[in-house]
């Protein structure tokens, strides 16, 4: 299935996508991880991206789309994919639709994960991520076995530059203004599935798998 994961910053999109992509053997395309990978290369483009992201702003729509489209053309996306962090506004939703049309693909389901703002702040405040493989941890909710090291590859964990209070407020404001309208947009298209993410990752994943299994049957 071709899926889009929507939801406010810190709700757990990346966490659920990393796990669900493994269980379903479909790739997890995280727009944020693609952009952070470009920053790591130290290219001119990467430097521009870092400045935008670290302040909590969105990179230009066309730039994000170009990076995503390149990734969508890879052969592993043929069996399905999870889009995490794209689209983030109505213009991107239109660009995505056109891009998928060109590639002969379409979105099957959009999952809107929601949780209280208090939960989101706690999750963002305790998040750590692997520098090498981008696996996501949380100091108390989902700690690594060895403090500061990734369970999978032993690489160092880091805290994201955009998880500082000013950048978080900016990201929340952009979500309210630009991303939230996508909920109604996809609801009207009959593609939306609501998912309460104010529960443990295990419970969310179980519910998500069950609902998407039902959806898959409807599509067959
Ligand atoms: P991106 O990296 O996508 O960040 P985001 O949207 O701000 O979302 P987050 O990654 O912060 O939250 P998440 O929902 O993935 O939560 P996570 O799973 O980590 O984008 C970063 C930036 O890139 C943007 O601000 C923008 O600048 C740019 N960008 C990206 N896409 C773009 C686009 N389309 N156009 C333009 N610019 C774009 O979980 C958070 C924490 O909570 C973790 O510590 C986790 O362990 C914990 N946790 C998760 N679920 C649970 C649970 N159920 N119970 C307990 N703890 C949990
Ligand atoms: Mg994420």
Instruction: Give per-residue pLDDT as tens, 43-102.
Output: 999 999 999 999 999 999 999 999 999 999 999 999 999 999 999 999 999 999 999 999
**Is the model's pTM score more than 0.85?**
yes
pLDDT score recorded for residue 220 = 84
| Cα separation, 4 vs 7, whole angstroms | 10
Instruction: Note the pLDDT of residue 150.
Output: 98
The pick from 127, 140, 200 for probing ligand 1's pocket by mutation, whose C-beta has the most ligand atoms within 8 angstroms, reads: 127
| 88 catalytically annotated | yes
- Closest ligand to residue 35's CA: 1
Q: How far apart are CA 203 and CA 124, in angstroms?
A: 20
Check if the beta carbon of residue 24 is closer than 8 Å to that of residue 216: no
Q: How far is CA 206 from the centre of its chain?
A: 19
Assess whether 171 carries a catalytic annotation: yes
Identify residues whose C-beta is under 5 A from ligand 2, the ion. Answer: 14
Pocket probe mutation, ligand 1, options 28, 67, 85, max atoms within 8 Å of Cβ: 85
Length of the chain: 220
- Candidates 19, 123, 127, 135; catalytic one: 127
Residues with CB under 6 A from ligand 1: 7, 9-15, 31-32, 35, 52-53, 56-59, 64, 85-86, 88, 92, 123, 126-127, 136-138, 141-142, 162, 171, 197, 200-201, 204
- Residues 84/86/90/91 CA torsion (nearest 10 deg): 180
Q: What phi and psi, each to the nearest 5 degrees, are found at residue 24?
A: -100, -10
Number of the ligand 1 atom closest to the C-alpha atom of 139: 44
Assigned fold of 2-116+177-219? Rossmann fold (3.40.50)
Domain ranges of the chain: 2-116+177-219
Those residues of the chain that have pLDDT short of 50 are none
Decide: helix, strand or coil at residue 81.
strand
């Amino acid at each position: 299935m071709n899926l889009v994961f929507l939801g406010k910053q810190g709700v757990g999109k990346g966490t659920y996508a990393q796990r669900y992509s493994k269980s379903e053997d479909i790739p997890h395309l995280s727009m944020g991880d693609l952009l952070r990978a470009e920053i790591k290369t130290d290219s001119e483009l990467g430097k521009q991206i870092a400045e935008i992201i670290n302040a909590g702003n969105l990179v230009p729509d066309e730039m994000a789309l170009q990076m995503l489209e390149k990734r969508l053309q890879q052969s592993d996306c043929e069996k399905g994919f999870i889009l995490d962090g794209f689209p983030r506004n109505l213009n991107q939703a239109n660009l995505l639709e056109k891009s998928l049309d060109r590639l002969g693909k379409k979105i099957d389901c959009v999952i809107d994960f929601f949780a209280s703002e208090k939960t989101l702040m706690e999750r963002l405040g305790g998040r750590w991520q692997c520098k090498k493989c981008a696996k996501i941890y949380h100091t108390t909710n989902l700690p690594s076995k060895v403090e500061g090291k990734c369970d999978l590859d032993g690489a160092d964990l880091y805290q994201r530059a955009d998880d500082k209070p000013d950048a978080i407020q900016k990201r929340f404001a952009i979500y309210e203004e630009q991303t939230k309208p996508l909920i109604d947009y996809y609801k009207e298209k009959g593609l939306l599935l609501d998912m309460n993410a104010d529960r443990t990752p295990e419970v969310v994943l179980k519910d998500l798998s069950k609902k998407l299994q039902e959806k898959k049957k409807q599509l067959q």
